[in-house]
Chain A
């Protein structure tokens, strides 16, 4: 079958672990707290990745395991209870407490499910305690959100109601916009997971149609299917084309007539075309190499190739769920190398050999590549920025055109040429 060339490699990886997704999850649900049960490394990771010093009282923290906790698990459970009580006393506004497993807690087999159960009994509904793993031995970066949402699925009330459920964290403004647009298509019952208040959990059942807003929610999707929901398959809502097809999938599931869809979406597409034009001028014909990290690499590659005219040198992805990514893979040009997993040294060798115009990579690699003369775009910015939907296609393209535009702006000035005569010569 024609399509991208699927490759795999293993070796040292340069990726975040699932704990990192707390950085955006805690902002989505201001009444929730994420307590990592882990080590000083976990605490340091989150604060380094998030640059969190600005928060007075962040809504995440770490219960740092000490030597005594490692000596006996019984003590560790007692200690965890003590820390949770201390926290909840200090933060009475917390309604949902996520106990987040880490590499060390997984390795010593500290049973957080049991701890959550015990705490739930004690709290008697005042606070809901759930658990999931964000450990690096089990999860990569955005997979942490999958874990957190999957932990919420069993708590969703059951309902037969016909509704559209948007699953995955979106920027509030983008979510409002999408709901507004679905409203114009005639779909009124729309809910979101995660909700904006952790206590405001959406119902789920056979009447529920799910649109995944993010490509990394495999486990959550599976659990929602088990609850009777229908999970639609579509390209993900990045770029005008992907967003349109994603909205159409939703509209079709609600029998919105094609004319109505065109009436609402066509003007948006035209506007997106105008918004994209200046960026396409910068990006068209440029070669891009995407290193694996956020799991958004495939939809981004599809957008950059089809709507911005970029050439894909290699598309990395931390892991590949072929079923969930089927629509995205189908839209990539034949022979595009899609590399699952990573051997960071070999991959950087390929980056250097192929001398791309732009590399999408993590923060650890960006400056070293820039210092070698290769323009980069941090992948972490993509999970923080409002980039979903047809209306955001221009902004999404701008994230990629900016590094190139910047080079164009400052390189002549910073690298004076001997060939140019001085002004007063």
Chain B
């Protein structure tokens, strides 16, 4: 039993939902009690989707448990198939259903359905969301492709040369509720096009069931997010002989390494080493004199494995920061994160306890935090600037603009996103120069104004109350209950309410403003 006040990852069936909702033609029947439908809001509110995730919940209740829950499962499977007519059906259970052991997968398999039925066994009491996503993609790929597995793996990644076509690769791993996946896919496609490489299938994001069946038609797989796609890539390599790329193209160095790895596997000439300088602004922006001030800035990094590793490399090798803390909540990625930390003389923090992360952050005393939305809050409390680099997703992590992390444009986005929270060179210089002038008494820590936080809001609330000037001779008097009522109004509208109430009192000819006057004024101005 583990005491948790907040968690970085959801349960594994939420990972399965991410795969189902990312794809076309997949429906997921989830044996789960009522209440588990909350997970829909992750997609409709956080990811701002205009469609419900393709999930039918059996939403059993206590009274169903006495009866035939197996029949309940079958009824929901039947209804879901009739209504949604999916090309493939996922069947699984959430934590509670796992305890009842109805075996919904086996039940559905026995119903003689026409489409492929994939049973998901996602141990809810030992595994988490990203594992669930990876396992679901793997089971789908395996189920749809196992009939195609050759006796002897004989895949040739150089086949494109003989066939007289451009090389073709699959992009595996991008999914809903993954960090900037939507935009990474666009950017990586752009990068590949630049190099004359076609994209076969992107999966799971936007893929149909038949797309998965034609994965082996590509020359190799690009594993964009190992957390989600590595197990599928390994299976495809083992059974079909399809190689896959290990480098995740986030940052200038990693994008270059990725291109080199890709070109090598495809038997192409190595890419031009100057491409990063030509295609991205990060190299020059980092070299330019204003960025001198970034040198040695102390950075604390925490996130999923992929993004934390990428951030560590960019910080050290491309921005000249000093990494003073590195960690991840992805236990599956603990080994490479530990190794990366060790190479920087640090001990990696592998934890899913955000309080331990906050403590490590405070201890490391960084000048910049790169973390999840939770680290953003912790950093705010500590008065440290922060940029978000990783899931868990927040509505702010799904920006309207295109904002990739990967490849050349991703490096530009990263430069802006990580450097802007810090005060930039010239500004920092000027503020230092004028520090003792009276205009600067408030202190200019950062133009995001992180320091202070909620306390500052409280202060300004009090200020708001006393700052509104008194009204001169025809002075209005606030009664005690009027004042008390006024204080209950949120500080950001209190000034307006006060002005309205006084204007109303003058107009109505009262000298006293009581709670009643306040309510009268409220009604008056809304009318």
Q: A and B: partners?
A: yes
Interface residues, chain A, CB within 8 Å of chain B? 11-20, 38-41, 43-45, 47-49, 52-54, 56-58, 60-70, 76, 79-80, 82-83, 86-87, 103-104, 106-108, 135-138, 140, 172-173, 176-177, 180, 271-272, 274-275, 277-278, 345, 362-368, 370-372, 391, 394, 398
Contacts of A365 in B (CB 8 A): 40, 44, 52
Q: Is the CB of B50 within 8 A of A86?
A: no
Q: Which of B56, B123, B355, B519 contacts A271 (CB 8 A)?
A: B519
Contacts of B95 in A (CB 8 A): 38-41, 103-104
Q: How far is A367 from B40 in the complex, measured between Cα atoms in Å?
A: 11
Q: Is the CB of A394 within 8 A of B526?
A: yes
Q: Is B37 on the interface with A (CB-CB < 8 A)?
A: yes
Q: Within residues 470 to 517 of chain B, which ones have a CB less than 8 A from any CB in chain A?
A: 481, 485, 488, 515
Q: Is the CB of B3 within 8 A of A63?
A: yes
Q: How far is A140 from B52 in the complex, measured between Cα atoms in Å?
A: 21
Q: Is the CB of A87 within 8 A of B83?
A: no
Q: Within residues 86 to 140 of chain B, which ones have a CB less than 8 A from any CB in chain A?
A: 94-96, 99-100, 123-126, 128
Q: How far is A261 from B524 in the complex, measured between Cα atoms in Å?
A: 23
Q: Is the CB of A39 within 8 A of B11?
A: yes
Query: Distance (Å) between the CB of A225 and the closest chain B CB?
Result: 24
* Known A-B contacts A61-B4, A67-B126, A107-B100; A176 and B33 likewise in contact (beta carbons under 8 Å): no
Query: Distance (Å) between the CB of B489 and the closest chain A CB?
Result: 8
Q: How far is A65 from B5 in the complex, measured between Cα atoms in Å?
A: 14
Contacts of B100 in A (CB 8 A): 107
Q: How far is A43 from B373 in the complex, measured between Cα atoms in Å?
A: 17
* Known A-B contacts A173-B488, A364-B40, A365-B44; A19 and B11 likewise in contact (beta carbons under 8 Å): no
Q: Is the CB of B488 within 8 A of A172?
A: yes
Q: Which of A52, A345, A371 contacts B50 (CB 8 A)?
A: A371
Q: Is the CB of B377 within 8 A of A54?
A: yes
Query: Distance (Å) between the CB of A196 and the closest chain B CB?
Result: 14
Q: Which of A19, A66, A70, A87 contacts B99 (CB 8 A)?
A: A70
Q: Is the CB of B58 within 8 A of A364?
A: no
Size bin of chain B's contact surface? 35 or more
Contacts of B9 in A (CB 8 A): 40
Contacts of A47 in B (CB 8 A): 6-7
* Known A-B contacts A180-B515, A274-B524; A64 and B2 likewise in contact (beta carbons under 8 Å): yes
Contacts of B526 in A (CB 8 A): 274-275, 278, 394, 398
Q: Is the CB of B515 within 8 A of A368?
A: no
Do most interface residues of chain A lie in helix, strand or loop, or is the interface mixed? helix
Q: Which of A49, A53, A104, A136 contacts B6 (CB 8 A)?
A: A53
Interface flags, B55-66, vs A, CB<8A=1, else 0: 011111110110
Q: Is the CB of B381 within 8 A of A45?
A: no
Q: Within residues 296 to 329 of chain B, which ones have a CB less than 8 A from any CB in chain A?
A: none
Q: How far is A364 from B485 in the complex, measured between Cα atoms in Å?
A: 36
Q: Is the CB of A137 within 8 A of B61?
A: yes
Q: Beyond A64-B4, A271-B520, A367-B49: 15 further Cβ-contacts under 8 Å?
A: A12-B58, A39-B96, A40-B10, A41-B14, A41-B94, A45-B35, A54-B377, A63-B3, A68-B1, A107-B99, A137-B96, A272-B523, A274-B524, A277-B527, A368-B52
Q: How far is A49 from B523 in the complex, measured between Cα atoms in Å?
A: 33
Query: Distance (Å) between the CB of A11 and the closest chain B CB?
Result: 8
Q: How far is A372 from B76 in the complex, measured between Cα atoms in Å?
A: 25
Query: Distance (Å) between the CB of B273 and the closest chain A CB?
Result: 42
Q: Is the CB of B35 within 8 A of A16?
A: yes
Most buried by B among A16, A107, A364, A365: A364
Which 9 pairs from chain A and chain B are nearest by CB?
A17-B35, A371-B50, A136-B35, A364-B40, A79-B1, A103-B96, A39-B95, A44-B10, A136-B33
Contacts of A176 in B (CB 8 A): 488
Contacts of B13 in A (CB 8 A): 41
Q: Within residues 324 to 338 of chain B, which ones have a CB less than 8 A from any CB in chain A?
A: none
Q: How far is A278 from B515 in the complex, measured between Cα atoms in Å?
A: 23
Q: Which of B1, B41, B57, B377 contacts A76 (CB 8 A)?
A: B1
Contacts of B34 in A (CB 8 A): 13, 15, 17, 136-137, 140
* Known A-B contacts A12-B58, A83-B3; A370 and B50 likewise in contact (beta carbons under 8 Å): yes
Q: How far is A367 from B527 in the complex, measured between Cα atoms in Å?
A: 31
Q: Is B234 on the interface with A (CB-CB < 8 A)?
A: no
Q: Within residues 1 to 53 of chain B, which ones have a CB less than 8 A from any CB in chain A?
A: 1-7, 9-11, 13-14, 33-42, 44-46, 48-52
Q: How far is A365 from B49 in the complex, measured between Cα atoms in Å?
A: 10
Q: Which of A12, A53, A80, A277 contacts B1 (CB 8 A)?
A: A80
Q: Is the CB of B381 within 8 A of A368?
A: no
Contacts of A18 in B (CB 8 A): 35
Q: How far is A355 from B448 in the complex, measured between Cα atoms in Å?
A: 45
Give 15 A-B contacts (CB < 8 Å), ordered by A residue: A12-B56, A12-B79, A14-B57, A17-B33, A41-B10, A64-B3, A67-B126, A82-B1, A103-B95, A173-B485, A173-B488, A363-B44, A364-B38, A366-B45, A370-B50
Q: Is the CB of B40 within 8 A of A14?
A: yes
Q: Is B522 on the interface with A (CB-CB < 8 A)?
A: yes
Contacts of A57 in B (CB 8 A): 5, 355
Residue in chain A with minimal CB distance to B59:
A13
Residue in chain A with minimal CB distance to B128:
A40
Residue in chain A with minimal CB distance to B376:
A53
Query: Distance (Å) between the CB of B354 and the closest chain A CB?
Result: 9
Residue in chain A with minimal CB distance to B56:
A12
Q: Is the CB of A49 within 8 A of B373?
A: no
Query: Distance (Å) between the CB of A398 and the closest chain B CB?
Result: 8
Q: How far is A65 from B96 in the complex, measured between Cα atoms in Å?
A: 11
Query: Distance (Å) between the CB of B459 and the closest chain A CB?
Result: 18
